[in-house]
């Protein structure tokens, strides 16, 4: 009987299922290993061949660790809240939960076919109330905490209230956005609403009027990482800035720790760098400038306090709160007009408009705190309200934008750099000696910065500070299909629902659209539709997509705990994720938010580790090959690729199932869509229609999606698993191409023949293994172990192939050898190996109860070696010599060879390098 993968795979999948082979529990006697995949959003399109790449890799490593004796946690679940199901609900009226469940079912079927060793008893779904109960609970903890900058950790808000009662907020060092300074006495006079308003400015999750990314098309706000080039990440709709009352997460409080702790993670430099970039730390100094005829000073942040004597003007962001108050009468209209124009610009406009210089003089002045000079105040949209203080001291001689601005508006440019010409451009490098700068004269940049900060602090004009680009993350969405907040309002004061009333379940609504008044869909729910209702109303927003995914790796440890989000005992045992595999696109979203939540939960002692993912591998994207047909403009005629020259044609994506080797199946194409049924074609001379091709991301809309299903049908899951690993290094992106899959399939068939005869009966024998057989086996063990330990999954497949080629040549049917080999191969081809393991006579259960073979060096000891003999570093011939020879003996031996004499060609070698066991190099 030939290798019948369909029968075998079905058999073992059901065996594993009915025996619960992959169920795991905490076992203190074993070392744990936690392998995690980024869980998928179950989309309607199902899995394509790109998804399993990471899943196969993690499955191989999970099975390997299991065979090595680790207690392996390898779970899977679904990130099941999300926009597509909701969009579909809006169109059809079907509840998103129904769509979601259907999609999950399809995903599960596809995952099952691939033979993964997930413990499905641990499955989680972020949209299930059992799960989001705890997402809501974590929200409550964040709400109930603030960040103490002295202890550098999150503390309970009750401690802060006690502090306020004791001595007001003057000496409180906590991350906040509170501008009010109050004493304990003043605090005691505040009413409940005022107190809560102040507390909101300290809580780790807070409600605030802030500038948010509003996406009118999606009808919701978006976090910064969800906006790409001024458009929404999902759907690519325009995004604008809008001031709205929204929930935000005070991730800023953790900026320094999120930055510092990156150093200890085994992640790629690229991802770490992206996070560093996103956090954007800059060290500098805040300086306050008194405004002429105005009570409050303007604060600026600068990284170059050394250039303070080069300040020629001041620029405020158009949104800066002082603008209108300080603007002179004469400038008022122009300023208003400028503000209006700026507010209309989307973030994208502002970005694409970098070259145009614009601004408006307010007519007001600040007083230079050191020189006493009067300095004009401008507004300009190159200054961002959300970074630093929303105001800059402009130093045109040292900053190119300030320089350009000054030139454009004809403002004086002071040169404070000695012997440096600034007539053409600013001197932006951090070097040079200062002049015309009072006490800084003659100093270089670094000491000048230090001295400037010192003097500014001494005079109470400024203070050394650190700024982060990282902004607090907007946490509410005006959407239906997300976690409801455990929040209600009483007299407009937000309050959290008590624990025993959690979860707040999603109420039924009559439509998934916003209300007439523009309120989120949840505002449609009747009071009775809520499973719990308090106060005047419940919160109408829902949580963003990243809420559920920020802590899911913890829930897998204890998925059905009804009293805690995870028990301390279990999280202590499983600890952080040892190996996390997923796409690099989550660099500044999920991977940052998860770290933030983990640190918070650590601060509150709910878990005992402060980073979620120790080792991260970013699998590359598998790209699709799209095919194109070319339609003649304004017609229903399609021109073959070879004939489009000089014609006005438009490329149109065509379903890749209608194309083979770039040749279009014309009949199929006509049937594909009704408007093509009477299309006409301009063909190649041989009568074929040739399509164009391009490598692109796989997507439904490009008709280039390859599902694993067909391939599993044709070759089996084991072949697909091996093939996806064989394609190349896991981190690398590559176009999908099934060309090579037959090679991998043939390998399995060839391997099968080592174990069974044509009738499918085992042909293994119990003889003593030969020296050669042992050598092949142990060489293979060594290589596979080393490769798996460095996550080099592609090279293992070649190693298996080499081993099978050698065993075949050796006519090896040895039981000990081939059984050991099965264990090596099993992580890659589990069904195949289980079957042969059973056929070999191992009746007792699964191969995965076995233990991984141990490499024994003694089988690899050689007594001779094919020495490459090179001349001037170029290999010329090889000679087999004993490894027992030392340097001198080797050299003598080589010198006496006929071939050596030939290549020497009568010359005397200058030098002979002899590396025993490696090489001989003769220098002429």
Q: Give the footprint of RNA on residues 708-727 (CB under 7 A).
A: 726-727
Q: Using the rule CB under 7 A, which residue among 56, 497, 797, 812 binds RNA?
A: 797
Does the footprint of RNA cover residue 392 (CB under 7 A)?
Answer: yes
CB nearer RNA, residue 268 or residue 707: 268
Pairing mode of beta strands 637-639, 680-682: parallel
> In the complex, what is the shortest distance from the CB of residue 247 to RNA, in angstroms, rounded to a whole number?
22
732 touching RNA, by CB under 7 A: yes
**Total residues in contact with RNA, by rule CB under 7 A:** 83
Q: How far is the CB of 865 from RNA (least distance, A)?
A: 8
CB of 531 to RNA, least distance (A): 39
User: CA-to-CA distance for 279 and 255, rounded, in angstroms?
Assistant: 6
d(CA 298, CA 314): 10
Nearer to RNA, 677 or 808 (CB): 808
Name which of 274 and 665 has its Cβ closer to RNA. 274
CA separation for the pair 418, 425 (Å, rounded): 15
Classify residue 757 by its DSSP letter. Answer: -
Residue 897 engages RNA in binding (rule: CB under 7 A): no
- SS3 category, 682: strand
Binds RNA by CB under 7 A, chosen from 121, 165, 273, 418 = 273
Judged by beta carbon, residue 71 or residue 232, the one nearer RNA is 232
User: Nearer to RNA by C-beta: 68 or 806?
Assistant: 806
Nearer to RNA, 264 or 790 (CB): 790
Footprint (CB under 7 A) of RNA, residues 110-169: none
* Among residues 637, 733, 770, 842, the one that binds RNA under rule CB under 7 A: 733
Q: Which residues of 422-447 are buried (b: 16+ CB within 10 A; e: fewer)?
A: beeebbeeeebbbbebeebeebebee
E-strand spans in 778-898? 864-871, 874-882
Asked if residue 399 binds RNA (CB under 7 A), the reply is yes
Report the nearest approach of RNA to the CB of residue 401 (Å).
5
Nearer to RNA, 9 or 347 (CB): 347
Restricted to residues 278-307, the positions that interact with RNA (CB under 7 A) are 278, 280, 282, 284, 300-304
Q: Which residues pair with 649 in a beta bridge?
A: 632
Q: Which residues pair with 220 in a beta bridge?
A: 215
| Interface pattern 462-491 for RNA (x via CB under 7 A) | -----x-x----------------------
360 near RNA, rule: CB under 7 A: no
Rounded CA separation 76/55 (Å): 10
Token representation of residue 687: 């009568």
Residue 677's DSSP bridge partners are none
Instruction: Report d(CA 132, CA 127) in Å as an integer.
Output: 6
Q: Cis before residue 70, ω within 30 degrees of 0? A: no
CB of 801 to RNA, least distance (A): 4
* Residue in this structure with the two tokens 């796989």, named with its chain if needed: 698
Q: How far is the CB of 278 from RNA (least distance, A)?
A: 6
The footprint of RNA on residues 572-611 (CB under 7 A) is: 584, 587-588
CB of 352 to RNA, least distance (A): 9
Q: Which helix (H) or strand (E) holds 245?
A: strand 240-249
Placement of tokens 């760098």 in the chain: 273
**744 belongs to the binding site for RNA (CB under 7 A):** yes
Single residue of 90, 208, 679, 802 touching RNA by CB under 7 A: 802
Is 695 an interacting residue with respect to RNA (CB under 7 A)?
no
The span of 95-103, 142-150, 385-393, 848-856 binding RNA (CB under 7 A) equals 385-393
Per DSSP, the three-state class of 898 is helix
Both tokens of 169, joined, read: 């907020």
Task: Choose one: 392-400, 501-509, 551-559, 677-685; the region binding RNA (CB under 7 A).
Answer: 392-400
Min dist. Cβ of residue 340 to RNA (A): 16
Does 252 bind RNA (CB under 7 A)? Our answer is no
CB of residue 844 to RNA, shortest distance in Å = 33
Residues in contact with RNA, shown as a per-residue x/- string from 746 to 785 under the rule CB under 7 A: xx-xx--------------------------------x--
148, 173 contact by CB (below 8 A): yes
CA–CA distance, 137 with 134 (Å, rounded to integer): 5
Integer Cα distance of 418 and 436 in angstroms: 9
Which range binds RNA by CB under 7 A, 32-40, 329-337, 592-600, 793-801? Answer: 793-801
Question: Of the two residues 74 and 595, which places its CB atom closer to RNA in the complex?
Answer: 595
Q: Does 343 bind RNA (CB under 7 A)?
A: no
Positive or negative, the Cα torsion across 502, 503, 508, 513? positive
If binding is defined by CB under 7 A, does position 798 make contact with RNA? yes
Give helix then strand counts, H and E, for the chain: 29, 34
* Tokens read off for 251: 């991730």
For RNA, the closer of residues 390 and 484 by Cβ is 390
CB of 924 to RNA, least distance (A): 9
Residue 44 or 873 having the CB closest to RNA: 873
Return d(Cα 625, Cα 606) in angstroms, integer.
48
* Interacting residue with RNA among 32, 505, 913, 916 (CB under 7 A): 913
Residue with tokens 């399993």: 52
Q: Does residue 27 touch RNA according to CB under 7 A? A: no
Q: How far is the CB of 717 from RNA (least distance, A)?
A: 18
β-pair type (153-156, 145-148): antiparallel
Cβ proximity to RNA, 682 vs 919, nearer residue: 919
- Write out the two tokens for 362: 């307010």
Alpha-carbon gap, residue 334 to 325, rounded angstroms: 14
CA distance 580 to 121: 20
For residue 98, state whether it binds RNA (rule: CB under 7 A): no
- Alpha-carbon gap, residue 617 to 54, rounded angstroms: 9
DSSP 712-754: HHHH-HHHHHHHHHHTS-TTS-EE---TTHHHHHHHHHHHHHH
3-class secondary structure, 195: helix
User: Among residue numbers 169 through 228, which ones bind RNA (CB under 7 A)?
Assistant: 225, 228
Q: What is d(CA 907, CA 277) in angstroms, rounded to the nearest whole number?
A: 61
Residues 859-878, interacting with RNA (CB under 7 A): 866, 868, 870, 872-875, 878
Residues 488-547 within binding reach of RNA (CB under 7 A): none
């Amino acid at each position: 009987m030939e290798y019948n993968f369909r029968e075998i795979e079905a058999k073992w999948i059901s065996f594993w299922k009915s025996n619960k082979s992959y169920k795991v529990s905490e076992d203190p006697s074993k070392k744990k290993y936690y392998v995690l995949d980024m869980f998928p959003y179950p989309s309607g399109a199902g899995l394509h061949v790109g998804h399993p790449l990471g899943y196969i890799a993690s499955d191989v490593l999970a099975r390997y660790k299991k065979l090595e004796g680790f207690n392996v946690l390898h779970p899977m679940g679904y990130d099941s809240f999300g926009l597509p199901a909701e969009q579909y609900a809006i169109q059809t009226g079907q509840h998103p939960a129904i769509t979601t469940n259907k999609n999950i079912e399809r995903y599960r079927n596809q995952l099952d076919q691939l033979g993964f060793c997930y413990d499905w008893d641990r499955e989680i779904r972020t949209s299930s109330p059992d799960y989001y109960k705890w997402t809501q609970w974590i929200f409550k903890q964040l709400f109930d905490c603030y960040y103490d900058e002295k202890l550098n950790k999150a503390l309970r808000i009750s401690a802060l209230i006690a502090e306020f009662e004791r001595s007001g907020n003057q000496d409180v060092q906590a991350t906040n956005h509170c501008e009010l300074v109050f004493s304990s006495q003043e605090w005691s006079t505040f009413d409940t609403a005022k107190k809560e308003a102040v507390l909101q400015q300290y809580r780790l999750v807070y409600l605030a009027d802030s500038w948010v990314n509003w996406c009118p098309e999606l009808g919701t706000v978006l976090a910064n990482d969800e906006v790409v080039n001024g458009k929404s990440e999902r759907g690519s709709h325009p995004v604008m800035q809008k001031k709205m009352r929204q929930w935000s997460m005070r991730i800023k409080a953790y900026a320094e720790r999120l930055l510092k702790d990156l150093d200890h993670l085994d992640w790629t430099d690229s991802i770490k760098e992206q996070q560093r970039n996103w956090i954007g730390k800059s060290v500098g100094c805040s300086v306050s400038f008194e405004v002429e005829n105005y009570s409050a000073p303007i604060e600026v942040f600068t990284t170059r306090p050394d250039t303070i004597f080069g300040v020629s003007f001041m620029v405020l962001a158009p949104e800066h709160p002082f603008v209108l108050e300080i603007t002179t009468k004469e400038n008022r209209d122009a300023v208003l007009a400028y503000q209006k124009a700026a507010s209309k610009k989307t973030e994208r406009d502002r970005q694409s408009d970098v070259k145009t210089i614009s601004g408006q003089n307010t007519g007001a002045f600040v007083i230079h705190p050191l020189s006493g000079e009067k300095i004009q105040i401008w507004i300009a949209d190159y200054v961002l309200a959300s970074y630093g203080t929303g105001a800059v001291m402009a130093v045109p001689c040292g900053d190119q934008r300030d320089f350009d601005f000054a030139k454009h508006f004809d403002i004086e440019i002071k040169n404070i750099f000695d012997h440096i010409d600034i007539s053409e451009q600013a001197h932006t490098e951090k070097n040079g000696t200062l002049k015309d700068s009072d006490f800084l004269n003659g100093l270089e940049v670094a000491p000048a910065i230090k001295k400037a900060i010192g003097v500014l602090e001494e005079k109470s004009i400024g203070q050394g500070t650190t700024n982060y680009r990282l902004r607090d993350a907007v946490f509410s969405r005006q959407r239906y299909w997300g976690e409801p907040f455990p929040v209600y309002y009483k007299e407009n004061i937000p309050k959290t629902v008590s624990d025993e009333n959690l979860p707040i379940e999603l109420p039924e609504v009559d439509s998934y659209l916003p209300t007439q008044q523009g309120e989120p869909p949840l505002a449609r729910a009747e009071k009775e539709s809520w499973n719990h209702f308090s106060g005047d109303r419940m919160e109408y927003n829902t949580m963003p997509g990243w809420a559920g995914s920020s802590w899911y790796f913890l829930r897998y440890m204890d998925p059905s705990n009804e009293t805690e989000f995870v028990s301390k005992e279990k999280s202590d045992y499983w600890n952080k994720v040892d190996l996390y595999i997923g796409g690099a696109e989550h660099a500044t979203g999920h991977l940052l938010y998860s770290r933030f939540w983990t640190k918070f939960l650590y601060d509150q002692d709910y878990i005992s580790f402060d980073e979620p993912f120790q080792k991260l591998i970013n699998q590359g994207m598998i790209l699709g090959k799209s095919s194109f047909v070319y339609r003649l403009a304004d017609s229903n005629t399609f021109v073959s690729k070879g004939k489009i020259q000089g014609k006005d044609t438009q490329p149109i994506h065509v379903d890749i199932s209608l194309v083979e080797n770039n040749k279009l199946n014309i009949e199929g194409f006509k049937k594909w869509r009704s408007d093509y049924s009477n299309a006409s074609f301009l063909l190649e001379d041989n009568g074929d229609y040739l399509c164009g091709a391009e490598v692109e991301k796989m997507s439904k809309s490009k008709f280039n999606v390859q599902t694993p299903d067909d391939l599993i049908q044709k070759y089996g899951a084991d072949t697909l698993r091996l093939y996806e690993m064989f394609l190349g290094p896991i981190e690398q992106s590559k176009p999908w191409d099934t060309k090579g899959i037959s090679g991998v399939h043939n390998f399995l068939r060839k391997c099968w023949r080592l174990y069974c005869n044509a009738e499918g009966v085992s042909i293994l024998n119990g003889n003593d293994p030969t020296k050669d057989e042992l050598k092949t086996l142990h060489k293979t063990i060594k290589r596979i172990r080393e490769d798996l330990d460095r996550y080099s999954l592609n090279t293992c497949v070649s190693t298996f192939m080499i081993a099978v080629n050698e065993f075949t040549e050796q006519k090896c049917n040895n039981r000990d050898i081939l059984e050991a080999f099965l264990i090596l191969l099993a992580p890659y081809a589990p069904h195949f190996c289980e079957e042969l393991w059973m056929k070999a006579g191992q009746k007792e259960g699964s191969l995965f109860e076995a233990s991984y073979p141990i490499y024994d060096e003694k089988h690899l000891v050689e007594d001779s070696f094919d020495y490459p003999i090179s001349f001037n570093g170029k290999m010329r011939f090889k000679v087999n010599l004993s490894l027992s020879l030392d340097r001198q003996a080797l050299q003598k031996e080589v010198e006496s060879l006929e071939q050596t004499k030939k290549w020497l060609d009568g010359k005397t070698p200058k030098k002979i390098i002899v590396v025993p066991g490696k090489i001989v190099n003769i220098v002429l």
